[in-house]
């Protein structure tokens, strides 16, 4: 809990020896059955004369919240979710670092031969092993989808076997130093069809539409970009080529969590501005046939849009 005077960390005795007792930046409070979190928290609020407390309503369960409530204290939801929307220089450095690692892991991954017959789960495991060797963990279970499974945007990798002339969609993110990455690539084993080639080109171009929209606005003059306008420009581009619109958001903020503010979506109220880090991930999904998605992370630094994931995204046939 952060108050005007102090930063408190409440924890149970199991974790107390993990902390430096000489820490000057935070006050450690050990909870127990006789002196539980609720009691200690209310005591701190009382002695610091605090009447209103913001909280992360997305990260507090009903069970936890029920215990915390008390007469005379006003718990205010939806106050904190946007506190992390702009990243500090140090945070951006960490995200850059995990993105660089993501590129390295992916490069090593595509160097290995991918044979028809391998399953989605096998391939996800192969990717995970490479990440493990680099001391990084996945920020979410990797999505590996073959052929028509790629038309399901959040496909759960399964026992489907790779066929000749199949397409592979891989969406994965790493976590290092508490910060997350997220990247998607779609590539071909054998020859893509004309329709696949066209869809791939449109997805790649539509990502550039978003990049141009960000750059068109002169961010150097501190003007921000409306996230929903970028989302719309990309959708319009895709549908103008007679493909269906994206069944998900164009993008999302990322940092300590894989999905956080801002949101690049049709009804978003967010403006993209200095210090934000977000994905741009257009996709075309043709149910029963195939799906193509290309996702990269970007940040706005010194008024410029900077790409953070730099794995090759031209149409690739392995």
Interface with its own copies (CB under 8 A): 13-15, 17-18, 33, 55, 57-63, 65-66, 77-78, 121, 125, 128-129, 132-133, 135, 137, 141, 151-156, 247-248, 267, 287
* Least Cβ distance, residue 131 to its own copies (angstroms): 10
Task: State how far the Cα of 216 lies from the Cα of 222, in Å rounded to an integer.
Answer: 13
**Which positions ≥6 away from 175 have C-beta within 8 Å?**
98, 136, 137, 138, 139, 181
Whose Cβ is closer to its own copies: residue 27's or residue 121's? 121
Whose Cβ is closer to its own copies: residue 141's or residue 190's? 141
Whose Cβ is closer to its own copies: residue 22's or residue 66's? 66
* Least Cβ distance, residue 231 to its own copies (angstroms): 13
DSSP state of 158: -
Nearest to 184 by CA among 199, 174, 173: 173
Do the Cβ atoms of 87 and 180 come closer than 8 Å? no
* Least Cβ distance, residue 221 to its own copies (angstroms): 34
Whose Cβ is closer to its own copies: residue 105's or residue 217's? 105
With tokens 């003059």, the residue in question is 221
Nearest to 146 by CA among 128, 123, 172, 129: 123
CA distances from 136 to 43, 92, 209 (A): 40, 18, 32
* Least Cβ distance, residue 285 to its own copies (angstroms): 9
Please report which helix (H) or strand (E) contains residue 185, including its range: strand 183-188
* Least Cβ distance, residue 66 to its own copies (angstroms): 7
* Least Cβ distance, residue 217 to its own copies (angstroms): 27
* Least Cβ distance, residue 203 to its own copies (angstroms): 17
Whose Cβ is closer to its own copies: residue 161's or residue 307's? 161
Whose Cβ is closer to its own copies: residue 162's or residue 308's? 162
Whose Cβ is closer to its own copies: residue 102's or residue 299's? 102
Task: State how far the Cα of 128 lies from the Cα of 126, in Å rounded to an integer.
Answer: 5
Do the Cβ atoms of 189 and 165 come closer than 8 Å? yes
DSSP state of 25: S
Give the three-class secondary structure for 67: helix
Q: Name the burial class of residue 180, with classes exposed (0-12), middle (13-18) and buried (19+) by CB atoms within 10 angstroms of its CB.
A: buried
């Amino acid at each position: 809990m952060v108050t005007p005077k102090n930063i408190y960390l409440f924890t149970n005795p199991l974790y107390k020896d993990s902390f430096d007792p000489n820490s000057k930046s935070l006050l450690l409070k050990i909870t127990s059955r006789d002196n539980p979190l609720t009691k200690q928290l209310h005591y701190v609020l009382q002695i610091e004369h605090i009447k209103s407390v913001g909280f992360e309503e997305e990260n507090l369960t009903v069970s936890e919240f029920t215990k915390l409530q008390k007469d005379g204290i006003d718990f205010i939801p939806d106050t904190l979710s946007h506190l992390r929307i702009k990243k500090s220089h140090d945070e951006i450095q960490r995200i850059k670092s995990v993105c660089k690692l993501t590129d390295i892991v992916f490069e090593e991954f595509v160097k290995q031969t991918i044979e028809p017959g391998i399953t989605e789960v096998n391939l996800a495991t192969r990717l995970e092993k490479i990440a493990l060797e680099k001391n990084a963990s996945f920020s979410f279970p990797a999505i590996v989808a073959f052929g028509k499974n790629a038309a399901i945007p959040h496909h759960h990798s399964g026992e489907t076997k790779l066929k000749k002339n199949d397409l592979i969609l891989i969406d994965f993110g790493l976590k290092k130093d508490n910060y997350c990455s997220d990247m998607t690539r779609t590539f071909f084993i054998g020859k893509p069809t004309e329709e696949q080639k066209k869809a791939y080109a449109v997805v790649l171009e539509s990502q550039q539409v978003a990049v141009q929209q960000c750059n068109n606005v002169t961010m150097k003059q501190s003007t921000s970009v409306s996230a929903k306008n970028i989302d719309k420009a990309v959708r319009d581009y895709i549908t103008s080529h007679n493909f269906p619109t994206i069944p998900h958001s164009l993008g999302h903020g990322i940092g300590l969590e894989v999905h956080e503010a801002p949101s690049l979506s049709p009804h978003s109220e967010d403006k993209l501005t200095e210090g934000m880090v977000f994905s741009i991930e257009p996709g075309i999904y043709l149910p029963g046939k195939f799906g193509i998605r290309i996702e990269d992370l970007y940040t706005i630094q010194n008024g410029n849009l900077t790409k953070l994931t730099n794995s090759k995204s031209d149409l690739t046939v392995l």
